[in-house]
Amino acid sequence: MVNQDEKKLDTGIRTDFKKEMSYGDYLHLDSILSSQHRLSDHHDEMLFIIIHQTSELWMKLILHELKTAIESIQKDELEPSFKMLSRVSRIQQQLIQSWSVLATLTPAEYMQFRDKLGASSGFQSHQNRLIEFALGQKNPQLLAVFRHQTELAASMERALKAPSIYDAAITALAARGLPIDQSVLNRDFSQTYEVNESVEKAWLMVYQNVEQYWDLYELAEKLIDIGSQQQSWRFSHMTTVERIIGHKTGTGGSAGVSYLKRVLDQQFFPELWTLRTKL
């Protein structure tokens, strides 16, 4: 039975939304919850769709946070970026956990609807590419799969040519008077970053003088968190794919597990890792 106190608490609850915005209105739930369109009658296709759709929403938030964090670092306002980068790391944990949910899909179950996917593939996730661009992994060849979408291809091209968060961090090192080679500061940002001795020495100076360079030190550790989580996401992706389809070719034509294993060798923020041996 509902007691009198509970009844009193309920008297203020709004129930008439003819002229007011409701929870569902604000979140556009009618649109979101009606966007799962199975192409087969198989029960588990719903899991497959929702995992990928929610992952894309989390990626959208990562990009939202990274964009503002980069802008903050470029203004030499490092501290505001720390909250955003911590949030990115937490979101990455959600994305990593999602693979364990997808791993409940068995090979036999997936084969019941895999052919319905056609040539669509996670390899074509433009948001995942934008995240990797923002973290410094640049590869112009990856833009080819987006050429059929003119506006998207143009925005991807701009992201490819823009400084990554690591480029912004290196510029911050130089702004504090730490010697960085001009070839690094003026490099072509559309190319994959290559290890540079002056950058490693600058970060080593930061780690050897933490009190003097506290905010740069904190930034470096935030980047390490994100780099580690992104590698964990890649690894979980690879093992989940191997668990479900083995070494079959991906639906989009990629080498599948073999490709994902090669990607694991691409490390983010390399000098932040190598300096640890030299400390």
Residues 6+ apart with CB under 8 A from 216: 78, 169, 172, 173, 176, 206
Annotated binding site for substrate: 48-52, 110, 114, 251
**156, 127 contact by CB (below 8 A):** no
Q: Is residue 42 classed as helix, strand or coil in its secondary structure?
A: coil
Q: Which residues touch 259 (CB under 8 Å, ≥6 apart)? A: 250
Binding residues: 48-52, 110, 114, 237, 251
C-alpha atoms less than 13 angstroms from C-alpha of 264 in its C-beta half-sphere: 14
Question: Annotated binding residues for heme, as ranges?
Answer: 237
Spatial CA neighbour of 53 closest among 67, 73, 32, 74: 32
As separate numbers, helices (DSSP H) first and strands (DSSP E) second, the chain gives 14, 0
Q: What single string gives the DSSP state of each residue in 55-123?
A: HHHHHHHHHHHHHHHHHHHHTT-HHHHHHHHHHHHHHHHHHHHHHHHHTTS-HHHHTTTGGGGTT--GG
At residue 267, the 3 state secondary structure works out as coil
How many whole angstroms separate alpha carbon 86 and alpha carbon 233? 16
Q: How far is residue 88's CA from residue 95's CA, in Å, rounded to a whole number?
A: 11
